Amino acid sequence: STRTVGRVIIEALILWGLLGRGMDGDADVDRVLNAPTSEAWIDPWETHLRSLGVEFVLDTEVREVVYGGGRVTGVRVAARDGSRQRTITADHYVSALPVEHARVTWGPALRAADPQLGRCDALKTDWMTGVMFYLRTPTPVVHGHINCLDSPWAVTGIGQAQFWDVRDFSRDYGDGQAHECLSTIISEWDKPGILYGKTARECTKDEIVAELWAQLKDGLNDSGKTTLRDEDRLGWFMDPAVTGLGGPDPQNREQLLIHPTGTLYHRPSARTAVPNFFLAGDYVRTDVDLATMEGANESARRAVNALLDADSSRAERCHIWELFRPPEMEPLKRVDEVRYQLGLPNTFDLG
């Protein structure tokens, strides 16, 4: 949607970031972790939560959020193979699943209790995942993300080793031969590629790797410069969430929320009409308004605050950071809002 692209991606995250306004810390628009995600983020967070007494139950799926008498009364769970079914009960419940997984756990009674849950069926997800290539030679290309603008599969990537300043890549990973991890993403899975003339969904795993590598070389080996060489490629790893490739029904169990026109109306708030049920995830309505970890983080803070309010807790509330809005632009926005309500064109619309 124009709202998401214009207000969030271009204005808040890029324009003001490049101008060094509204940024915490270094004025760097393109920020990444300084180590693999598990090491820099997930493992330390898990350790912290365990130290607080949080229990992780693995190999378990949420089957249904059980509703009755105006409240959520439990969550029915089972092992992945359907065995060991049981119901977990608590005072409050926070659903932090991705929307495509969360909405299938909301039954008719729960949906009737809060219509915004039913509207989540209209939210769209799509495939955005890829392959990590392990290379003999450091290949940073650029100090940030790579965008192969003319690639049919909308390929992006990043040379990770340059940012992992707490790690020596060849020493700490593998057998010492690899000096780079070129992490790449396919954002367009429904257009023909340049090698086989097939869409990514139609390709086998090996065909996707070959096609993706060819599109990367096509985008980076130009102007007389050879950035990627076949002999430098040691191996690759594809996201295991994608299965059934080359078959009649490929699947991706970790899809990405996308933002078509009208998306905002269908996105729910962290607080629901059910007093002990709360939502967190990148699909929840937030000021960030973008499928990012920043958006998911903000939704979690809002869910926690709503839960504390419902519990009449005296605990300190989570701080909510809103996107930077330059104060000098606010009068123009107010004028534009009035003109819109009156059916008049934007002041700068000279067409």
CATH assignment at residue 74: 3.50.50.60
**Residues 286, 270: one domain?**
yes
**Residues 105, 134: one domain?**
no
In a domain, 29, yes or no: no
Please tell me the total count of domains within the chain.
2
pTM of the model: 0.89
pLDDT score of 6 = 80
- 67's tokens: 């509703």
pLDDT score of 222 = 84
Q: Which residue has the tokens 């340059």?
A: 162
In a domain, 345, yes or no: no
In a domain, 176, yes or no: yes
**Which structural domain, as residue segments, surrounds residue 81?**
57-125+255-310
Which of 310, 326, 346 is the last residue before a domain boundary?
310
Question: Which residues of the chain are under the pLDDT cut of 70?
Answer: 11-13, 23-29, 351
Per-residue b/e over 149-163, b at no fewer than 16 CB within 10 Å?
A: eebbbbbbbbbbbbb
Say if CB 187 and CB 128 are below 8 A apart. Answer: yes
pLDDT score of 109 = 97
In a domain, 200, yes or no: yes
pLDDT score of 81 = 87
In a domain, 319, yes or no: no
pLDDT score of 3 = 81
313-349 tens-digit pLDDT: 999 999 998 888 888 888 988 999 999 999 999 888 8
Q: How far apart are CA 199 and CA 36, in angstroms?
A: 30
Counting Cα atoms < 13 Å in the Cβ hemisphere of 7 gives 16
In a domain, 289, yes or no: yes
**Residues 182, 242: one domain?**
yes
pLDDT score of 24 = 67
**Residues 241, 262: one domain?**
no
Residue 209 belongs to a domain with what CATH number?
3.30.9
In a domain, 349, yes or no: no
**Residues 68, 116: one domain?**
yes
**Residues 261, 121: one domain?**
yes
**Residues 135, 246: one domain?**
yes
**Residues 96, 199: one domain?**
no
Q: Which residue has the tokens 């993300």?
A: 145
